[in-house]
Amino acid sequence: MGFHWLQSRIQEERDRRQREALTLNRLPQALEELYAILKEGITAYQEAFGAETVESVLLPSRIKITAMADRDGRWQPVSKVEVAVAPEIPGFRIERGDSSTDVEVGLLPSNNLYYRDRERDVYLTLEDVIRRVLDRVLFPKLPE
């Protein structure tokens, strides 16, 4: 006994699992690509305010960025943000203190990535993602 709807749903689920597996495999490379672009913004900030003002590091499944300020002759952390691979989304989790934002990452047929803010249910450009990562850590005293 064959149910057409069941066969269709099985195929849809196969396709979804395949897309998800491809995306999960692409996340580490996507994190490296994101870091390279973030690094451009960090370099511009350092050129404007000094090399000691921001530290960044790329780890296997995480990016850490720390803004520093000169306090009594010593550079102290003043704000930080982390971007972590979140396979359960799949995508990135932008963690800043006690708040976090989930950004779904998906693969387009052209092998390019798309980004989506899960909470607001809106698609993001890469520039939107970069701003969400860097804006509050580098400019905490400026309005959003």
38 within 8 A of 67, measured Cβ to Cβ: no
128 is a domain residue: yes
Count of structural domains, the chain = 1
For residue 144, being part of any structural domain is answered with no
The pTM of the full predicted model, rounded to 2 decimals, is: 0.88
Q: Which domain holds residue 43?
A: 4-138
User: What average pLDDT does range 103-109 have in this prediction?
Assistant: 91
* pLDDT per residue as tens digits for the range 10-55: 999 999 898 889 889 999 999 999 999 999 999 999 999 999 999 9
Is 27 contained in some domain?
yes
